[in-house]
Chains A and B, each alone.
Chain A
Amino acid sequence: MSAAETLVATGNRAHSHGPGSPVPLQARSERPTSYDVADFAVPNGREEEWRFTPVKQLKALFDDAAGTETPKIDASGPEGVVFETVAADSLKVGKPQDRSAAVAWNHAGEAFAVRIPVEAELTEAVHVNVASLGARGFSHLIVEAGRHSRAIVIIDHTGAGELSSNVEVVVGDAAELRVVSIQQGDHESIHLGQHDALVGRDAKLHHVVVTLGGKVVRIGTNVRYAGPGGDAELLGVYFAEGGQHHENRLFVDHEATNCKSNVLYKGALAGDKARSVWIGDVLIRAAAEGTNTFELNRNLVLTDGARADSVPNLEIETGEIEGAGHASATGRFDDEQLFYLQARGIPEDAARRLVVSGFFNDIIGKIGVPEVTEHLHDVIEEKLARAAELSASAKAVVGQ
């Protein structure tokens, strides 16, 4: 990484920092959540949870009114998986933490549920496609993995409109569930999402947020533990291009004992006004003895005019923990790496691809779903090709 990189790592102690005044996470956990839209004022962009977000572009999704379309949901999966529609309030693992989530909760209608039966070990991934057709719509998904089950669920968000969604995830005791949420809407699309996961006793959740497209994409992921021994691996990959805003907000609430959380989010940015925001809040409550948590966010800024904000927050209320730390680093593309590879005969565009795929290499290895990682690889290549074209044409203009 280049000299512009900043690296912050803390050990086993309470710590919080970031631009502006850090907000204590205890306050964060007391931040109002509600199923009632009226409990949230329309954001003006000055609120702590909205200050990084271009709220002006989100007006339609703050409006407490029915959608102008119903997003199309298609699902398929191996034998054993159950699909059904259920009442929105049938589970209530999630509870809206902001206005757009409350609007979605009330106007999505019934929830679409994916159930993995107790002890089922699915051999293939379950696919759920949520397609926004071009208007304003809401969706509500539930993924419930029964005790001792194993499954992969891929939720693919596509389309052209404005979508606000709630996703509730329950991982039964000793189950292992991998949920991959892909956001790859068209360039003008908008997607706000709230994911709430409840990790059972000795259960393992792998939650992956892959954001590849959309003008504004903001995903909040909240994790709680229903019992001791739970393990959550929270991964995220994003690649914002010119004019795109990709935001991820995490809140891991450790209350049960001996639970683990491991957060790794990596993003690249290329193009004028490409923007990413990452907020990683981890709270270890007094009762959560034996907790082990680490969170890391890294950003690779490929061109001028792009900006990445990264705010890790860790608050620890007990000394009886195994370990806790966080790190955040944002670096510019390192031209020395490029020179080194080119000096070995590798053409510039291939060398650039190699450096960027190297940057994403560890997280791609952890995602562990080949169809997702292959797709990710292809899309990253396309984006790099576009970035190269842009910088080539910029050079041509300068050279005239």
Chain B
Amino acid sequence: MATLEIRDLHVSVDTENGPKEILRGVDLTIAGGQTHAIMGPNGSGKSTLAYSIAGHPKYNITSGTVTLDGEDVLDMAVDERARAGLFLAMQYPVEVPGVSVANFLRTAKTAIDGEAPKLRTWVKDVNKALSDLDMDPTFGQRNVNEGFSGGEKKRHEIVQLELLNPKIAILDETDSGLDIDALKIVSEGVNRFAGQGDKGVLLITHYTRILRYIKPDFVHVFVDGRVAEEGGPELAEELEANGYERFLKAGAK
């Protein structure tokens, strides 16, 4: 079973006034079969963590390690990380003009598997994944994320998750911008993925709402670039009741 290990991860971004440290020593281990929720206030560095694991060039890793089954992830190119089994559902999925969803999905699947998918079953699989997320098959002919509504973009991320079926999925605020019906549909998709048994899920969210549909095994409160507290699902309930205040005070001292 896959294990993603993050050890003492420090990450900075370049700003006009020189480098700015955003992650200040993150420790986290996600094993296959587990669902982890990371919750934290705006600007605490949740997306930075997700992008750093995926390899976005904007983020500089200044120290620490990230390994997947012992392999050094930080040494891999972005596409190599994806082929090694990491998947990032993005908070703001990118539009790619002129590239159809069908072409994009087939190209990605071929890259991940190292061979082209069998044509007949593939078309069926794509249509099923789309309809499971309540997306019309005509989305296949549209350009990637172009003109998609916020909710459609998020559902399209989960379509990709199901088709590419990675080892570890990082979902960055996939719940934001979804109405309650879409939230349920997206949660069902994530649960189908997690329900395979050996998959790891890192669910990044700002709100507890999605945790009614996706049950985390572990909850991490993320404040000011590091994990401030860890616990089980009961921690989410406390956040639901009291918000982040207690942790913000602790972080500010």
Contact = CB atoms under 8 A, between A and B. Distances in A.
A337 B77 contact: no
B60 to A, nearest CB: 15
B20 to A, nearest CB: 20
Given A339-B57, A340-B94, A358-B98, A350 B111 contact: yes
B79 A347 contact: yes
A343 B54 contact: yes
A36 to B, nearest CB: 46
18 contacts: A334-B94, A340-B94, A342-B77, A342-B78, A343-B78, A344-B82, A344-B164, A345-B79, A345-B108, A345-B112, A345-B164, A346-B79, A346-B108, A348-B78, A354-B104, A354-B107, A358-B96, A358-B98
Contacts, number: 83
B111 A346 contact: yes
Interface string B103-118: 1100110011000000
A351 B83 CA distance: 14
Nearest to B92: A336
A251 interface: no
A336 B144 CA distance: 13
B215 interface: no
Interface residues of A, number: 25
Q: Which of under 10, 10 to 19, 20 to 34, or 35 or more describes the interface residues of B?
A: 20 to 34
A46 B73 CA distance: 56
Interface in A313-343: 334-337, 339-343
Contact of B160 (A336, A344, A347, A355): A344
Contacts of B123: none
Interface stretch (A66-74, A156-164, A359-367): A359-367
Majority secondary structure of chain A interface residues (helix, strand, loop or mixed): helix
B90 interface: yes
B94 A337 contact: yes
A342 B51 CA distance: 12
Given A344-B111, A350-B107, A359 B79 contact: no
Contacts of B90: 340, 343
Interface in B44-101: 54-57, 77-79, 81-83, 87-88, 90, 93-99
B96 A355 contact: yes
Interface in A344-391: 344-348, 350-351, 354-355, 357-362
Contacts of B55: 342-343
Contacts of A350: 107, 111
Contacts of A344: 79, 82, 104, 108, 111-112, 160, 164
B29 interface: no
A162 B79 CA distance: 45
Contacts of B98: 357-362
Given A350-B111, A361-B99, A342 B82 contact: yes
Contact of B79 (A342, A354, A361): A342
A358 B99 contact: yes
Contacts of A357: 98-99
A21 to B, nearest CB: 33
Nearest to A344: B108
B57 to A, nearest CB: 7
Interface string A298-310: 0000000000000
B34 interface: no
Contacts of B96: 337, 340-341, 354-355, 358
Contacts of A342: 55, 77-79, 82
A310 to B, nearest CB: 18
Contacts of A334: 94
Given A345-B111, A348-B77, A351-B79, A339 B164 contact: no
B67 to A, nearest CB: 19
